[in-house]
Structure 1
Amino acid sequence: MMNDFTVNMNEYLPLRDLVFNTLRQAILKGELKPGERLMEIQLAEKLGVSRTPIREAIRKLELEGLVLMIPRRGAEVAKISHKNLQDTLEVRGALEELATDLACQRITDEELRELSAAEDHFQKVVKNGGTEIEIAEADEAYHDIIYKASGNEKLVQMINNLREQMYRYRLEYIKDEAKRGILVHEHEEILQAIRIRDLIHAKTLMKEHIDNQEMTVSQNLVEEAEATSEVGKKTRKR
């Protein structure tokens, strides 16, 4: 069943973009659950729009990996699988290591100040009990400065192409409250290594940072699958 999300008509954007942003956020926030069918008629009625912008939004979400088209079933929210997680974070890890390498060599004093400020902001959001979305956005802002400091526009473009899928896994990781303090510590260590331009150590820290995310989310997926299986067994016994 769909949750209570609506289109924000105050945004100065074309209707198709408003609908896309609304559905994207609903998926990322878990308001539209993995495996949930996206029925054009129901979504159009819920959001008060025609089926055309709904159809366009679903196609765009499919391109970003957030929606799957299933034969004889239609569109549904893509499930978070271990394979997709591994594939995405393997690519992200390689790109992040390269960005960190280049940032160590090219980062300016101004960008170092921006990175330090972004880390301070991230700490405050975590300490003040920010929402999962707020923490994820603060985490993303921190990494964006490292990408920019690499000075490689093609690299930044490649990372941006993965942004939506990366964000989804980032949000899954942040849902584990026990890991938020670890994130703060990892950010601090990476910042210090970049500040002294210790290229090898900074790359190692970034690799560990991404690996920790993969391990945690993978474990969460296993636990969720086991819990679902157990519920299924109990239901069949009744």
Structure 2
Amino acid sequence: MQGRATGKSEAVYERLKEDIESLRLRPGAKLSEVQLGEELGASRTPVREAIRRLARDGLVDFVPGEVARVAPISLGGVHALFEFRMLLEPQAAASVATAGAADERVLVPFHDLLKRLEEFDESFRALDAAAQVRSYTKFYEVTEGFDQAVIAACRNPYLARTIRDLRSQTVRLRHLSHSRPRRMLTSLDEHRAMLKAITRGDAQAAEAAGRHHLAQTRQALIDSLTSQDLTLGRDVQVDLTG
């Protein structure tokens, strides 16, 4: 019985996590255990367990006197997250480049990713705007592959674990930062620069390229959060002082 409950909770957790990260469940959306249970064919216990896990991931908030809700996205939160990421991810990229310079086997997945990126870039630029939007998923597969490859190849286990633990937050924000095709094109160039630096074994260039990418992504997020055509929901707190 416990095994079945645990398995159901895991399935509910993965479904809700995917919906939150993809913004199908918008920031500020209320999460009713009863309603979610009916939609997902689950009892309240696995739904409650899944929501608690999502709260530990930072994707769900508990509001006193109300049901749980999808954690809001604020400018203050974006600034804090990217300040932290800039301490971690460029250093991880540099670590991987250094390891690759000493052992070429480390670089194999990065050479493969660079080839995939170049192929995607060529096909993406040939599409019209509507088709470009529909191809976002393929782009995310390449960038997610890059992030996971850096985590796997990073020689510092504490650094790798901390970056991995932030993935839920960064994946959700990724959909906002690439909300416009033009930003995707610049992000492609930024990932190309990071991949080329790593495959050359150039730690300094890899760190600089990683820092530049994060700075550009942060600005794209700020633009999305403050634009008039983006609706994050009535319950979202956009902290303009952060």
Kept after mapping to 2: 8 A contact 1:132/1:171: no
Aligned residue number for residue 91 of structure 1: 84
**Which residue of 177, 182, 202 corresponds with 1:178?**
182
Aligned residue number for residue 6 of structure 1: none
Aligned residue number for residue 36 of structure 1: 29
**Which residue of 162, 166, 172 corresponds with 1:162?**
166
Deviates more, 1:85-94 or 1:116-125: 116-125
Identity value in percent:
27
Residue type at the aligned position of 1:69: F
Q: If the length of structure 2 is used for normalisation, what is the TM-score?
A: 0.82
Kept after mapping to 2: 8 A contact 1:89/1:166: no
1:104-144 deviation digits (Å, cap 9, x = unpaired): 21123123221021132234445354643442232021122
Taking a change above 3 Å as real, the CA distance of residues 112 and 23 of structure 1, as seen in their structure-2 partners, is same
Task: Confirm whether residue 140 of structure 1 aligns to residue 144 of structure 2.
Answer: yes
Write the distance in 2 (CA, Å) between the matches of 1:110 and 1:196: 13
Higher relative contact order (CA 8 A, sep 6+): 2
In the TM superposition, 1:1-238 aligns within 5 A as 14-107=7-100, 108-125=103-120, 127-128=123-124, 129=132, 131-224=135-228
Kept after mapping to 1: 8 A contact 2:23/2:175: no
Residue type at the aligned position of 1:148: A
Write the distance in 1 (CA, Å) between the matches of 2:49 and 2:109: 37
Kept after mapping to 1: 8 A contact 2:151/2:164: no
1:75-126 deviation digits (Å, cap 9, x = unpaired): 0111111111111122112111111221121123123221021132234445
Could you say what secondary structure the match of 1:76 adopts?
strand
| Matched residues, number | 217
Residue type at the aligned position of 2:144: E
How far does residue 192 in structure 1 lie from its aligned partner after superposition?
2.2
The Cα RMSD (Å) is: 2.2
Q: If the length of structure 1 is used for normalisation, what is the TM-score?
A: 0.83
Kept after mapping to 1: 8 A contact 2:57/2:168: yes
